[in-house]
Amino acid sequence: MTKIDAKIPDGNLAEKWTKFKSSVPLVNPSNKRNLEIIVIGSGLAGSSAAASLAELGYKVKVFCFQDSPRRAHSIAAQGGINASKNYQNDGDSVYRLFYDTIKGGDYRSREANVHRLAEVSGSIIDQCVAQGVPFAREYGGLLSNRSFGGTQVQRTFYAAGQTGQQLLLGAYSALQRQVGMGNVKLYTRHEMQDVVTIDGKARGIIARDSVSGALERHFGHAVLLCTGGYGNVFYLSTNAMGSNVTAAWKAHKKGAFFANPCYTQIHPTCIPVSGDHQSKLTLMSESLRNDGRIWVPKKENDTRKANEIPEDERDYYLERRYPAFGNLVPRDIASRAAKERCDAGFGVGSSKMAVYLDYAAAIIRYGKGEANKHNMYSPTDEEIQSMGKAVVKEKYGNLFDMYKQITGEDPYAVPMRIYPAVHYTMGGLWVDYNLMTTVPGLYALGEANFSDHGANRLGASALMQGLADGYFVIPYTIGAYLAAEIRTPSMSTDSEDFVKAEKAVRDRLETLMNIKGSKPVDYFHKRLGKIMWDECGMARSEKGLKASIKEIQALQKEFWSDVKIPGEIDNLNPELEKAGRVADFLELGELMCIDALDRDESCGGHFRLEYQTEDGEALRDDVKYAYVAAWEYEKQSIFKLHKEELKYENIKIAQRSYK
């Protein structure tokens, strides 16, 4: 049995990272010039890592499947990025950010990693401002903050509803600077098809040039997977159409363990599904819960319009159930509460699978505030409305516009309808403290790894983790491995290992093209998505999961005998790209169900119907399940479980309460 070693440094929690940094082996500048690093993915984690490593002097290659690194889906993150700066003097600290993250993750993440994340969070904001990221500011010229779910301080930095875009463009600029200097070579419209391992170490990749269809071999002393999450296994999610698990899954099949695959984040505030044609779901930022109030009618099956329902006939169910955090409870809790109300028959809209997110009260509150500011002693209702709407527009304008575009309704006039949707995956490749997977030389950063968010991620923490990993963690931790590789010269890609890996990729692509079945890729993807959403989504059960595993196995067979891929193998062929990704999702979906079935408890985003308290809260089992489930791939449909015990030395494990 492989033993997994998280390589957590000794010493006090607060000193581990400092001590690690002062004792990790260094690579001198002249040796760095001879060491090559491959980075897959150009989102926050990938771009920041590639830029930082190139600045240090390493030779870097970056691959992305999009036409430019700037398209990576980090760009779509809306609300903000957390940092324990305590600029608001409201009691924030490194410890409190650490504590909130562990508690928010329902006590299923690794203390040392989370503490390091909190420690470097402030430097991220400094770095981004220095790059010219235009964060929101107050009139005095200093940075503005707001609140996100699961916290009682204001530690979220933001750039309107486009924080991810601005952070990514900052990292992209840093990356392009290195491209211009010749330190990074960029491969756009290239998709990684496999990791090449030689003598057990990651030594390169096979990539497909999407335009020509040509397969390419690339050598690297280390390979970094910064490829994001796998939410698209559900077909409908807030992920981009191209977001996929392929790189991580190929790594998994080459020996990298996959950790906590069943931990999926269902985001509470998304625009509801409107029909079968739907290709993706759109998030409405969690920041909207700062000012918006969530409610459903008190009466079952109420068909009145929202504005016709009087105040005392509205059920502000989050404020009712969780008075201490109210509308700002963590995502898993808000999502389950919405599902509970809709399942009980109190949902709104034509599908009845939606709840209201209402800005009427906030508009009045802000309008009155503006009136005071401008010394208007008896403002009319119209004046209050118009000034209030102007404030809301400045804070959330682009989100409101987006809602109107998609639904055709004006959210300034009627409450928004929202429903939970798949958003983020806390699970991912298992990594140690150095962010290295169980394959030496193969790293996973950002959402692609499992390390920091436990069973539920807090809002505005994904951007923080992606940039922490890329800017401030990997530049140090990679030295621990590469310092021992300085005598390894660049290897020829004509070696047998590379040739074999390329042939396996080519064979698989040809097999896919030659199936010539009857159904398009989307047909299988939608069916997989429905199984996953119904049985491995917001509520899971032993019976449902067992049935799903069988259904998915049957669907895998059907896919490999009946998928129809048009076009040519040696030309731009989006259907062939999709087919490769869906084939991997079909295998991942099965592992997610296996993992969800193994975990006989409820925690965070993983809610097993059999394990809940009397009032419907998640019931954890810390005696049996305080571990990271790290799955090893053995062969098709056979995975072996390894357990990394989670030790809480600095936080007392407790039932999570936001009441």
Task: Restricting to residues 79-98, name those near other proteins by CB under 8 A.
Answer: 85, 87
Residue 200 beta carbon to other proteins: minimum distance, rounded to whole angstroms = 31
Name every residue whose Cβ is closer than 8 Å to that of residue 443 and which is 6 or more positions away in sequence: 222, 223, 224, 225, 431, 434, 435, 436, 437, 474, 478
Contacting other proteins within 238-257 (CB under 8 A): 238, 240-242
The answer to whether 107 and 620 are in contact (CB under 8 A) is: yes
**Separation CA 151–CA 102 (nearest Å):** 12
Of 108-137, binders to other proteins (CB under 8 A) are 123, 125-132, 134-137
Q: Pick from 41, 46, 69, 272: which binds other proteins (CB under 8 A)?
A: 69
Residues in contact with 152: Cβ distance below 8 Å, sequence separation at least 6, in sequence order: 325
Of 19-27, 276-284, 502-510, 594-602, which segment contacts other proteins by CB under 8 A? 276-284
Q: Does 512 bind other proteins (CB under 8 A)?
A: no
Three-class DSSP category at 148:
coil
| Phi, psi (rounded to 5 degrees) for 164 | -60, -40
Q: Could you tell me the smallest distance in angstroms from the CB atom of residue 253 to other proteins?
A: 26
Give the Cα separation of 590 and 453 in Å (integer).
Answer: 22
* Residue 377 makes contact with other proteins by CB under 8 A: no
By CB under 8 A, the residues from 553 to 582 that bind other proteins are 564, 566-567, 571-572, 574-575
59 - beta bridge partners?
36
Which among 256-264, 402-410, 480-488, 579-587 is the span making contact with other proteins, rule CB under 8 A?
402-410
In this complex, which beta carbon is closest to other proteins, that of residue 566 or of residue 616? Answer: 566
31 binds other proteins (CB under 8 A): no
Which positions from 189 to 218 touch other proteins by CB under 8 A, shown as an x/- string?
Answer: ----------------------x-------
CA neighbor of 194 nearest in space, from 505, 636, 580: 505
Length of the chain: 659
Cβ at position 275, least distance to other proteins in Å: 5
Binder among 205, 329, 402, 480 for other proteins (CB under 8 A) = 402
Residue 616 is a binding residue for other proteins (CB under 8 A): no
Contact call for residue 176 and other proteins (CB under 8 A): yes
The whole-angstrom separation of Cα 263 and Cα 19 is 32
For other proteins, the closer of residues 262 and 579 by Cβ is 579
Find the binder of other proteins among 324, 406, 504, 641 (CB under 8 A): 406
Nearest residue (CB) to other proteins, 128 versus 224 = 128
Distances, alpha carbon 360 to alpha carbons 291, 381, 389, 407, 416, in Å:
10, 12, 9, 19, 11
Relative to beta strand 442-444, strand 293-297 is: unpaired
Other C-beta atoms closer than 10 Å to the C-beta of 586 total 22
CB of 454 to other proteins, least distance (A): 27
Establish if 52 lies at the interface with other proteins (CB under 8 A). yes
From candidates 6, 44, 51, 306, binder to other proteins by CB under 8 A? 51
Nearer to other proteins, 145 or 290 (CB): 145
DSSP single-letter state for residue 302? -
Among all chains, which residue has been given the structure tokens 């984040």?
Answer: 265
- Binding of other proteins at residue 180 (CB under 8 A)? yes
H or E, element range at 279: none
User: Is the Cβ of residue 123 or residue 541 nearer to other proteins in the bound state?
Assistant: 123
Binding track, positions 138-157, relative to other proteins; x by CB under 8 A: xxxxxx--------------
How far apart are CB 522 and other proteins at their closest, in Å? Answer: 6
Q: Which of 98, 172, 481, 658 binds other proteins (CB under 8 A)?
A: 172
For 308, residues 6+ apart whose C-beta sits below 8 A from its C-beta are none
Total residues in contact with other proteins, by rule CB under 8 A: 84
Minimum distance, C-beta of residue 394 to other proteins, in the bound complex (Å): 9
| DSSP of 590-607 | HHHHHHHHH--S-BTTB-
Report yes or no: 8 and 115 within 8 Å, Cβ to Cβ: no
